[in-house]
Structure 1
């Protein structure tokens, strides 16, 4: 018995780590793409965009959310900031859903671990879900309640000195603050975000120039680090839990929770139960994809698995954050709206896919245990490339944040010292992080010469906005 238990634990770990190995390159590449988009795609003022109660505002909220990936908690924190500034509740909920379900890294992971049918259902269903959610909210919205909650939220945060990080929207901390020339005190969630802000205010290079300099890649590296810091616990937990669920949860448990067979009633029950399991699972963000593989292997229907994947925004820990931010009434309202739309959309996807004859064949429960994960194949080589890219970005981040220099490159804003390339212009010496930035300055000296050179590292310094 004891030997069987030990064997089961090792097998669980083999499957969980095997899943992680299989999907590692997709997660890393997805996060790199997300980081590039967030750093270099210009965005309109989100509070204004999300304040418009129309199709345009909803569409922009969805697109912006898909380009602003993060964990469930990150999405909720940013959503709170947007709501405080006047974002309409429909658009804030759409933003939150898109930023956890319509993102590159999640799509790649679903494609690898579950197949293209699930990816199509995730993307198409995600858009339908947002449309259904918007309609439901418009029909049921207690408008005055949300106006009162917004007012109380602003008053409470003002009372406690809570401000949002201007670079990422997360909650700022007192230890990472600086004061602008206009006398405004800005708070940041981390040293990395504060450094990014200082770098951006000190530079004015084009994105093409920046990506050929240390400074530009520092921004990407910093964003990449932030993305990982938000999701890594969910990802690791999701993969490890999935291994244990596959090995130790007997088939009769799935049969008891999820109705078996065909028909609309079975699809509807499976979709509802999929959301219930998600709420109770405590696994959010991308960690619920490997868990979904365990459900699929256990015989749960297509509707149940898709509904489960949608539901990472209403796990118990996330619901508790809603309660802290907005109170019990709003928390229960968000739970109700998301629960109904997620279960309904999961059900609708199975009906739709069944009509087109593209519901995938059920993978037997033994598939994961029979699979060989660590082989010299395309996954191995893609992972090597992905790990190298990840190491490079983290190296650039550390190089940027820990640079010893008291100067800032006027082209990209990177910290530098007097040992690198330099030149004199109008009686002042400028220092650069690379020859590339120096050449950019030489081409357009008047454009860059106005930016401050001295970087008072670690202090609350002032910079003009450029």
Structure 2
């Protein structure tokens, strides 16, 4: 019994890690592209552009979202900032859909793990999601409720002294404060965003010129690190959970939850149940793709699987964020709109693909337990290149090559200058990127005193974000 359990655990880990190995290069490539867009594509005045709810603004919101990060929580936080600044509700929701369904890294992962049919359904369905959502919001939006919530949100943030991080649009804190040459005080959500702002202020040309300098690559590396910091837990959890679901969940469970057979009712039930499973799965961002592989392997219909993939914006943790931001009524409204939109779009995609004769057939392929994941093939070589690229960006970031600031924070290794907090000990002045690092130094100075206070030191610590 124990031997069987241990062997099944190892098989679950083999499948989960195998999925991760298969998709690693695609995730890295996607985040590389996303980081480039985040660093070099300007998003200024976006909230003003999205103030109207017309078709043109929805298109711009969709493009803005597709060029943004793929983190569900990040999308919700940025959406809150846009909403507070006056963006129309339909544009905020369109941005959130696009930033979690139309991004490069998600598409590549779906293509590798589920197939091109699911990729087409994801991209086409992502656009259909936005259209369906816009129609529902137009017909049902309680304008008075959202106007009141916007005013309350602004007043609450003002009373709490909340400021907006000019780098990412999230809430800034006093721990990461910068005074500009124009005597303006800016607050940031993290040391990483503060450093990004400093790097942007030190920029001297377009992206071609930037990438010919260490400063440009440092900015790139900093953004790449931040992108990973937002999604790595969801990705790892999603892959590992998928392995255990495939091995340990019996087929009878899937048969009980999802009706088997053909017909419109079966397709509709599977789509609705796919969204429902997503709500309680606690797996968001790109981590729900490997989970979707487990559903597909369990015999769930095309509609149910693709609806599940759409639904990372209404998992329980994300719903709790809506509640904290906007209150129960708006949270329930968003849940209702998103649930109906995602289930209906999944239902529609299966009908369309069935009419075109391109609904994939799982029976012809290998199951997850039959696949061999670690071989000397194209995946190995692509992963080798991807890991080398990631190592290069990490090296540039950790060394601080081209970073602004003449001092190095002894706690985290981040570049800083004389405007930041500092402390003197034994005739040596240490400069810090934030009050957080200063407090850590004061509480355990002996641990960090060996670090040289200037940037000439060859070793550097890994940067951090305090989200």
**Category of TM-score, reference length = shorter chain:** 0.7 to 0.9
1:230-271 Cα deviation digits (max 9, x unpaired)? 000000000000000000000000000001011111000000
**Measured at CA, do residues 182 and 343 of structure 1 come closer, stay the same or move farther in structure 2, by a change above 3 Å?**
same
Moved over 4 A (4+): 363-366, 401-405, 414-417
Question: Cα RMSD between the aligned structures?
Answer: 2.1
1:271-307 Cα deviation digits (max 9, x unpaired)? 0000000001000000000000000000000000000
| TM-score under structure 1 length normalisation | 0.86
Query: Structure 2 CA distance, aligned partners of 1:299 and 1:38?
Result: 38
- Identify unmatched segments of 5+ residues in structure 1: 408-413, 418-455, 461-466
Q: In the TM superposition, what is the alpha-carbon distance from 1:369 to its structure 2 partner?
A: 0.3
Q: Greater relative contact order: 1 or 2 (C-alpha under 8 angstroms, separation 6 or more)?
A: 1
Query: Structure 1 CA distance, aligned partners of 2:298 and 2:59?
Result: 36
Q: What residue is the counterpart of 1:177 in the other structure? A: 177
How is 1:239-250 mapped onto 2 (pairs within 5 angstroms)? Answer: 239-250=239-250
1:88-136 Cα deviation digits (max 9, x unpaired)? 1100011011111110000000000000000000000110110010010
Q: Contact (CA 8 Å) 1:71, 1:230: kept in 2 or not?
A: yes
Query: Structure 2 CA distance, aligned partners of 1:24 and 1:3?
Result: 31
Q: In the TM superposition, what is the alpha-carbon distance from 1:204 to its structure 2 partner?
A: 2.3
Query: Structure 1 CA distance, aligned partners of 2:264 and 2:224?
Result: 43
**Measured at CA, do residues 8 and 87 of structure 1 come closer, stay the same or move farther in structure 2, by a change above 3 Å?**
same
How is 1:327-406 mapped onto 2 (pairs within 5 angstroms)? Answer: 327-363=327-363, 367-400=367-400, 406=406
Residue 319 (structure 2) pairs with residue 297 (structure 1): no
1:428-451 Cα deviation digits (max 9, x unpaired)? xxxxxxxxxxxxxxxxxxxxxxxx
Q: What residue is the counterpart of 1:427 in the other structure? A: none
Q: What residue is the counterpart of 2:423 in the other structure? A: none
Q: In the TM superposition, what is the alpha-carbon distance from 1:406 to its structure 2 partner?
A: 2.3
Alignment: residue pair count: 417
Query: Structure 1 CA distance, aligned partners of 2:157 and 2:291?
Result: 36
Query: Structure 2 CA distance, aligned partners of 1:101 and 1:216?
Result: 29
Q: In the TM superposition, what is the alpha-carbon distance from 1:201 to its structure 2 partner?
A: 1.7
Q: What residue is the counterpart of 1:91 in the other structure? A: 91
1:289-329 Cα deviation digits (max 9, x unpaired)? 00000000000000000000000000000000000000000
Query: Structure 2 CA distance, aligned partners of 1:195 and 1:106?
Result: 28
Q: The residue matched to 1:177 in structure 2 has which SS?
A: strand
Residue 145 (structure 2) pairs with residue 145 (structure 1): yes
| TM-score under structure 2 length normalisation | 0.86
Q: The residue matched to 2:395 in structure 1 has which SS?
A: helix
Q: In the TM superposition, what is the alpha-carbon distance from 1:86 to its structure 2 partner?
A: 0.4
Q: Contact (CA 8 Å) 2:203, 2:210: kept in 1 or not?
A: no
Query: Structure 1 CA distance, aligned partners of 2:350 and 2:14?
Result: 31
